[in-house]
Amino acid sequence: MSSFSLEKKEDISIVLCGAAGQGIKTVEQFLTHALFQDGYNVATTKEYMSRVRGGTNSTEIRISSNRVSAFVDRIDIFIPLNKTAIARQRKRITSDTIIIGEPENISNEIDLAKHKVIEVSWSKIAEEIGNKIYSNVIAAGLIAELFNLDKEIGRKYLRDRFASKGEEIIENNFKAFNKGCEIADEIIKEKGLKIAIKKDPKNSKMSMYDGASVVGMGAIAGGCNFICSYPMSPSTGVLIFLAKHSDEFEILVEQAEDEIAAINAGLGAAYAGARALVSTSGGGFALMGEGISLSGMIETPIVIHVAQRPGPATGLPTRTEQGDLELVLYSGHGDFPRIILAPGSLEDAFSVTQKAFNMAEKYQTPVIILTDQFFMDLYYNFSPPDISQFTIENTVVKTTKDYQRYKLTKDGISPRGIPGFGEGLVRADSDEHDEDGFITEDLDGVRIKMVEKRFNKLAEITKNVIPPDLLGSKDYKTLVIGWGSTYTAIKEAIETIGRDDIGFLYFKQVYPLHPDTRKWLKKAEKLIIVENNVTSQFGKLIHLFADIKIKNKILKFNGMPFSVEELIEKIKKIVEA
């Protein structure tokens, strides 16, 4: 049996695994927030089943000396909370994995002689404290002590977390926490389980929120004051976040009866001057198709957040995929310009969402933000954005008596009036219309002019595309291309490979493409595209709009995000071929 010490590791991955309702979330939130406040770099990801109770879910918490933010397959410390936990994660458990948990959750599943096992009967200890329910806090205390967490931070977190439950419950949680610490001290002494991850007090000054909250914050920073949505995993977090903060930021929140109502109410609000957001997932977006088209026709700004999950149909409701790019690119009948954004880091989730509202307002067209389940549930410490660099650009004009909503202009953008503000009338029509917004059948005069007007806006949009970030080598021979949530894993994989001839081009606006896309891609000898879908939808988009066919594709579509390890292996194989 080799040593239990993790002293040499700069990055430790802890995986908690158990049934929904068992309290994984309590342990996850305790460790993530307390260790973060203590100055550690923390990154948390999760995967879960579509059910309220039971099943087998898992959370991965990475604590590292240098900041990381991706999902890894490797498990350094595994905490099985039920009997199916080990079976579910077996592929990821190696002889190096330290398994800490109840004997009955471990002994039947693995060969104790071949694994590093530390048996702790926390439910028994918890019962001594008063209730089995405290076993999670014992586990949390144990892990916290391994990382030498400042006990005051731990206690403060527990006090805040259980404040509403009364003194006795808080005291019992303290007892459980202390008990966990005592067990950890014994483990450190007896097994030599040492951890030497570096802390930095600066880390605790950073932000620690999940993707759903950051998209919500970006929306608030973008001036969002109206959200009408229908719950659909995994997008609902944004609706919940904005509902929770609706009082503070004066946001109108109404849960619609379905997605068709949501998008139409959003468009109605935007027509009246609100900065509207609609949050949904692929299936809901499919229902919105007609509304997206309406937005294109009546040139009313709308931001639609689409958190992707694997389809077709109901698919895998709580899993991740990047399979809806083509849906959002082609959704809606008829031709009209649109913008598609896809942030991959939490920093970008804030800035891109903020910008989305200004873009929608400026170009009077639908703007779609693509995220996914992995990204919604991802959280890590990041530098809070400098709020002063963001402005809310409002294009609404006070109308005059002769106001025309669809006035023909050089760039196709008509001054945007709203009803009740100024002397003019604001008329809109889902039929083809003239400059006044009245229905028309004037084919050779008005129709052609209006189609051209709407498409002139696309040329304007193309002038102001958010450029992709080039990471890794500026002098690349191989260029890896990614978009959206694959960013964190690709970035870490390229850094770990450490070659000076690999670049990584990360797109946060996927449509329209940046005009220099072809130039950047042409420079590479080898192109690799990484996507969480089966047909390389972004590869097809690049082929269509930049006329470059990417041969090397790394695709994953089992409902899980890319791990750093598999990307390292696959990218290396292609580079070295």
Partner 1 sequence: MAAKDLEIDTSTLVKKPKKTLQHTHDNLLRKIAIPTIYCPGCGIGTTINAFLEAITKYTIVPHDNILVVSGIGCSGRASGYVNLDGFHALHGRAIPFASGVEIARPKMKPVIISGDGDLFSIGLGHLAHAARRNIDMTVICVNNAIYGLTGGQDAPTTPVGAKSRTTPYGKISFPFNLSHVAIANGATFCARYTVYEFIQLAKAIGRGMTHQGFSFIEVISNCHVNFGRRNNLGDSIAMRKMFKKVRVPMKEEDIGLDIRKTDIKYEVGKGFTRIPTGIFLNERDKPEEFSERIIDAYEFNK
Residues found near partner 1 in the complex (CB under 8 A): 21, 49-55, 83-84, 108, 230-233, 236, 239-240, 243-244, 246-247, 253-255, 257-259, 283, 313-314
Is 274 within 8 Å of 250 (Cβ atoms)? Answer: no
Please name which of 335, 221, 211 lies closest in space to residue 279, comparing C-alpha atoms: 211
Min separation Cβ 151 and partner 1, Å: 31
Question: Looking at beta carbons only, is 11 or 109 nearer to partner 1?
Answer: 109
Question: Looking at beta carbons only, is 316 or 458 nearer to partner 1?
Answer: 316
Could you give the count of Cα atoms lying within 13 Å of 283 in the half-sphere of its Cβ? 17
Min separation Cβ 499 and partner 1, Å: 38
Please name which of 211, 13, 189 lies closest in space to residue 98, comparing C-alpha atoms: 13
Question: Looking at beta carbons only, is 82 or 485 nearer to partner 1?
Answer: 82
Tokens of 59: 């959370």
Question: Residue type for 311, please?
Answer: G
Min separation Cβ 52 and partner 1, Å: 5
Min separation Cβ 96 and partner 1, Å: 26
Min separation Cβ 576 and partner 1, Å: 34
- Alpha-helical regions (H) of 378-464: 448-463
Could you give the count of Cα atoms lying within 13 Å of 46 in the half-sphere of its Cβ? 25
Question: Looking at beta carbons only, is 3 or 50 nearer to partner 1?
Answer: 50
Is 199 within 8 Å of 40 (Cβ atoms)? Answer: yes
Angle at which helices 135-146 and 122-129 pack, to 10 degrees?
A: 110
Angle at which helices 135-146 and 151-161 pack, to 10 degrees?
A: 150
Min separation Cβ 246 and partner 1, Å: 8
C-alpha span between 420 and 215 (Å, rounded) = 31
Min separation Cβ 51 and partner 1, Å: 4
Question: Looking at beta carbons only, is 108 or 409 nearer to partner 1?
Answer: 108
Min separation Cβ 469 and partner 1, Å: 34
Question: Looking at beta carbons only, is 203 or 331 nearer to partner 1?
Answer: 331
Calculate the alpha carbon distances from 477 to 493, 494, 520, 526, 565 in Å.
17, 13, 11, 6, 22
Question: Looking at beta carbons only, is 235 or 381 nearer to partner 1?
Answer: 235
* Residue 285: DSSP 8-state: H
C-alpha span between 104 and 126 (Å, rounded) = 16
Question: Looking at beta carbons only, is 83 or 540 nearer to partner 1?
Answer: 83
C-alpha span between 472 and 555 (Å, rounded) = 21
Question: Looking at beta carbons only, is 240 or 458 nearer to partner 1?
Answer: 240
3-state secondary structure of 505: strand
Min separation Cβ 313 and partner 1, Å: 6
Min separation Cβ 307 and partner 1, Å: 12
CA angle, 273 as apex, 270 and 278 as ends, to 5°?
30
Is 285 within 8 Å of 328 (Cβ atoms)? Answer: yes
From the number of C-beta atoms within 10 Å of its C-beta (0-12, 13-18, 19+), residue 325 rates as buried
Question: Looking at beta carbons only, is 105 or 353 nearer to partner 1?
Answer: 105
